[in-house]
Amino acid sequence: MVTSTLEQLCILYTDLTYEDIGRLEEVASTLQLYADMSDSYMFIDCKIKDNDHAIVVAEAFPRNANNIYENSVVGKIVFESFEPGVFYSYKNGKKSIIRQAITQEGKSVDQTVVPIKNKCHQVIGVLIQEKEVTPKTLQDDSYQEADLSIVPARNGEFLASTVGGPPVVSDLLMEMLILTDAKDHLIYSNPVALKFISEMSRTEAVANEKITDLLPFLKPVYDNKEDVFVFDLTIDRKSLVVKKIRLKKKDRGETLLIIQDLTELRMKEKELMMKSVVIQEIHHRVKNNLQTIASLLRLQMRGLPEDSQASFEDTLNRIYSISSVYEIILAKERADDDDVNIIELTRKICSAMVLNDVRSKVDLIIQPNGNKIITSSRKAVSLAIIVNELVQNSLKHAFAKEGEGEIRIWFTSDRDFLELHISDNGVGMKEPKPSLGTEIVHNLVTNDLNGEFLYVPQEEGTHAVVTFPVSPEVEIFYEKKDFDSRG
């Protein structure tokens, strides 16, 4: 099947549905028309899943114009700090107009952004119109100077030394500013940056030195081909955010780096996270609140017809599975970490379920395969609901009322991926109608676990597989040495 670039990018980078993508395709099909009619540049940007950036999925340039965009920008990442209008419209669902915006490509434009919504009124993308500001302003020299509030080096004079004179703006900034020439040699840095470079490189004379020799960790920043990019770097326990901008003015090929040191901020964040007493208390409250909700539901379901009761039972089971996560965390000795052992969690959820299901004589077998899987509480909640839904389905749909059967749960893993398998030897899925349960599982697997959910064919019964990546939030510890650890 031929898919458009827009569709491919949306599938790869966003969590939009096919219907949403269809809607975007509709809008995209009219872009060229608008571009020609209004003599402006049109774009559609969509928010990337799992991070705070956006991506350009469609564009149209006016024909018969001196293009301010040399190359296509489709597929390019858009950062909030550079394109605030785009993110304003995204977050607020409102129109934004910015006069003389400087785009990520360093062009001066009047930019109008309107949100694109789907049938359910969700913002699924933004439509951007950019009209070039008259070239006269751009070529004006005074404009160019004002655009960059730093003092470039002249006649071998290095750095904005302000002794005796009034401080320039860049001297007062907390951010480090570093300007390098076409060969990546240092031609300017503000005082904080100078201090940083000297400290990190243990060199005093840094002027005109090659920056990637002084600070080798900046190499990926310079190797990156994009004109504008934001990097998160961790060096010597320092957390840095590096914004790189290639300045194309007068073809001098300079690169400006703006570096923020977030180390202290990150440390404070961590300290806050470690406030174990508070966390413990919150876990208690979450668990108690879940129990209150469950009791309220139980009260409400009394006297209802049987099929309504079944829906209530489904919901109650979901609540119990979430609450199991908190029970496990609270039972731990160390109060400050909220990691959850997934095998333990699976056992807890399943044993409660089979006990409650008095009708059937079903065996439930959990095989940890010799590994211990530890996840953050956030991922554990998703996994709890997923296990609950899939095992419930086996109990509910696979076996006859008085029938016997077997449900097996096991985990396999390699270096990068973890697989959760749930299979039964029941009747198998015959023309299933996707319903709330499978929808919940699919959404949690793709959105929260970043993984994939599917049923694999098998001769007897049903076999569901959830595959998701190993990450700092999902760790595997091999307890048995002979365990097959491929890779």
Ligand X SMILES: Nc1ncnc2c1ncn2[C@@H]1O[C@H](COP(=O)(O)OP(=O)(O)O)[C@@H](O)[C@H]1O
Site for Mg ion contains 437 (CB under 5 A) = yes
Residue from the set 56, 426, 444, 465 that interacts with ligand X by CB under 6 A:
426
Q: Quick one: what does residue 434 bind among Mg ion, ligand X, none, with the CB cut-off 5 to 8 Å set by partner type?
A: ligand X
Q: CB-hemisphere CA count at 13 Å for 4?
A: 15
Site for ligand X contains 190 (CB under 6 A) = no
Report d(CA 120, CA 300) in Å as an integer.
30
Residue from the set 398, 409, 444, 476 that interacts with ligand X by CB under 6 A:
398
Q: Contact region for Mg ion (CB under 5 A) — 237-245, 334-342, 390-398, 417-425?
A: 390-398
Count of residues that bind Mg ion according to CB under 5 A: 2
Site for ligand X contains 393 (CB under 6 A) = yes
Name the helix (H) or strand (E) containing 260.
Answer: strand 254-261
Q: How far does CA 472 lie from the centroid of its chain?
A: 14
Q: Contact region for ligand X (CB under 6 A) — 62-70, 84-92, 131-139, 423-431?
A: 423-431
**Cβ at position 324, least distance to ligand X in Å:** 19
**Cβ at position 356, least distance to ligand X in Å:** 16
Q: Around Cβ 485, how many Cβ atoms within 10 Å?
A: 14
Count of residues that bind ligand X according to CB under 6 A: 19
Q: In what order do the strands lie in the sheet with 96-102?
A: 77-78, 54-60, 41-47, 123-132, 108-117, 96-102
One-letter amino acid at 256 equals: L
One-letter amino acid at 487 equals: G
Residue from the set 103, 360, 393, 394 that interacts with Mg ion by CB under 5 A:
393
Site for ligand X contains 462 (CB under 6 A) = yes
Q: Quick one: what does residue 37 bind among ligand X, Mg ion, none, with the CB cut-off 5 to 8 Å set by partner type?
A: none
Q: Which residues of 143-185 form beta strands (DSSP E)?
A: 176-180
Q: Which is nearer to Mg ion, 305 or 434 (CB)?
A: 434
Q: Which is nearer to ligand X, 276 or 458 (CB)?
A: 458
Site string for ligand X, 353-392 (x = CB under 6 A): ------------------------------------x---
Structure tokens at 455: 């049923």
Site for ligand X contains 429 (CB under 6 A) = yes
Q: What is the β-pairing status of strands 361-367 and 404-413? A: parallel
Backbone phi, psi, residue 375, to 5°: -130, 165
Q: Which is nearer to ligand X, 83 or 389 (CB)?
A: 389
Contacts of 263 (CB under 8 A, 6+ apart): 237, 238, 239, 240
Site for ligand X contains 115 (CB under 6 A) = no
Site for ligand X contains 397 (CB under 6 A) = yes
Q: Which is nearer to ligand X, 236 or 431 (CB)?
A: 431
Q: Quick one: what does residue 397 bind among ligand X, Mg ion, none, with the CB cut-off 5 to 8 Å set by partner type?
A: ligand X
Report d(CA 127, CA 113) in Å as an integer.
6
How far, CA to CA in Å, does 279 sit from each of 53, 273, 300, 338, 342? 30, 8, 32, 9, 20
Name the helix (H) or strand (E) containing 408.
Answer: strand 404-413
Structure tokens at 68: 């301010």
Q: Quick one: what does residue 442 bind among Mg ion, ligand X, none, with the CB cut-off 5 to 8 Å set by partner type?
A: none
**Cβ at position 398, least distance to ligand X in Å:** 4
Name the helix (H) or strand (E) containing 96.
Answer: strand 96-102
- Helices marked H in 218-341: 219-223, 263-273, 276-301, 306-330
Q: Quick one: what does residue 104 bind among Mg ion, ligand X, none, with the CB cut-off 5 to 8 Å set by partner type?
A: none
**Cβ at position 389, least distance to Mg ion in Å:** 6
H helices then E strands: how many in the chain? 16, 19
For the segment 435-454, give every residue that binds ligand X (CB under 6 A).
435-438
Binding site for ligand X (CB under 6 A): 389, 393-394, 396-398, 424, 426-429, 432-438, 462
Binding site for Mg ion (CB under 5 A): 393, 437
